[in-house]
Structure 1
Amino acid sequence: MPLLNWKRSSVTRQTGAAAEDVALAHLQAAGMALVTRNYRTPGRGGGEIDLVMRAPDGTLLFVEVRARSGAAQGGAAATVGHVKQRRLVHAAQHYLMQHATPPPCRFDVVAIDGDRIEWLRGAFDAG
């Protein structure tokens, strides 16, 4: 990998990790409990779930965190398209194989646009 791409990739990872920290603190302040962070499915083409959280009522939240410097061109939430949703659903299905009886679940997005945080509950469904 060329040095410039490596640096850009490293900065992107740092920015993503910082956004996840902000989202995690926001969700915990709202009463959600962290189950796991950065859950990855095995193999190529798999998916990653940024945060798996549990709501006080037992619902399992699969949370995608997106950050942009501003809300231009639809903002951070608009970047969770159909392909990303499909990968998240696949990763969630893989994660749920660990449970004999899967709990109620939903897919949330935490969109960070500059200093603005928006928590989109039930942003999309598995169908």
Structure 2
Amino acid sequence: MHTDYAAQHELGLAGERAAVKWYLEEGYTLLGQRQRMISGEIDAVVEGCDGTIVFVEVKSRRGGGFGAAEAVTAKKFQTMRRCAAQWLEKHPELGYREIRFDVVECVIDGEDCIIRRFPGVEDAAC
């Protein structure tokens, strides 16, 4: 594995772990992480205490600045919707639920990880 790719991959995994930890601390239940679908990958799927299923896209970067969330384009949201539909088809036991798409930005600066969550951002992007 190329060193730059390996470092970027590890950064992404660290961001995903931090985002999942944040959701769990907020009372969400983890339903899946790094879920491979035909259309792509879902970083995390969590369930809120109200039963809402949240599909989470995590964007990570090193350093003190924000801006990684802007990398989530309308095309990425189309992929997220397709992946979510495929994931829901695999989990009919959940029945009908409200769903939401969140983007979580993790800025990792040394040992610190700053989380910014953008809930329901699909509506703003479309």
If the length of structure 1 is used for normalisation, what is the TM-score?
0.83
Q: For structure 2, which runs of at least 5 residues remain unmatched after alignment? A: none
SS of residue paired to 1:97 = helix
Q: Distance in 1 between matches of 2:19 and 2:67?
A: 16
The answer to whether structure 1 residue 120 and structure 2 residue 114 are counterparts is no
Q: List, as ranges, runs of 4+ consecutive aligned residues in structure 1 with deviation greater than 6 Å.
A: none
Equivalent residue in structure 1 for 2:52, among 56, 59, 68: 59
Letter in 1 for 2:99: C
- Within 5 Å, give how 1:77-116 maps onto structure 2: 77-98=69-90, 99=92, 101-114=95-108, 115-116=113-114
Instruction: Give the Å deviation of 1:41.
Output: 1.0
Q: Distance in 1 between matches of 2:71 and 2:96?
A: 28
Letter in 1 for 2:100: R
Q: Distance in 2 between matches of 1:26 and 1:75?
A: 19
Count of residue pairs brought into register by the alignment: 119
SS of residue paired to 2:97 = coil
Return the structure number with greater relative CO, CA threshold 8 A, min gap 6.
2
1:39–1:49: 8 Å Cα contact kept in structure 2?
yes
Q: For structure 1, which runs of at least 5 residues remain unmatched after alignment? A: none
The RMSD of aligned alpha carbons is 2.0
Letter in 2 for 1:86: Q
Distance 1:78 1:55, change over 3 A: same
2:11–2:61: 8 Å Cα contact kept in structure 1?
no
SS of residue paired to 1:49 = strand
Instruction: Give the Å deviation of 1:119.
Output: 1.1
1:75–1:113: 8 Å Cα contact kept in structure 2?
no
SS of residue paired to 2:119 = strand
Instruction: Give the Å deviation of 1:116.
Output: 2.6
Instruction: Give the Å deviation of 1:68.
Output: 1.7
Instruction: Give the Å deviation of 1:70.
Output: 4.3
Instruction: Give the Å deviation of 1:71.
Output: 6.5
Identity percentage over the alignment? 31
Q: Distance in 2 between matches of 1:90 and 1:17?
A: 22
If the length of structure 2 is used for normalisation, what is the TM-score?
0.84
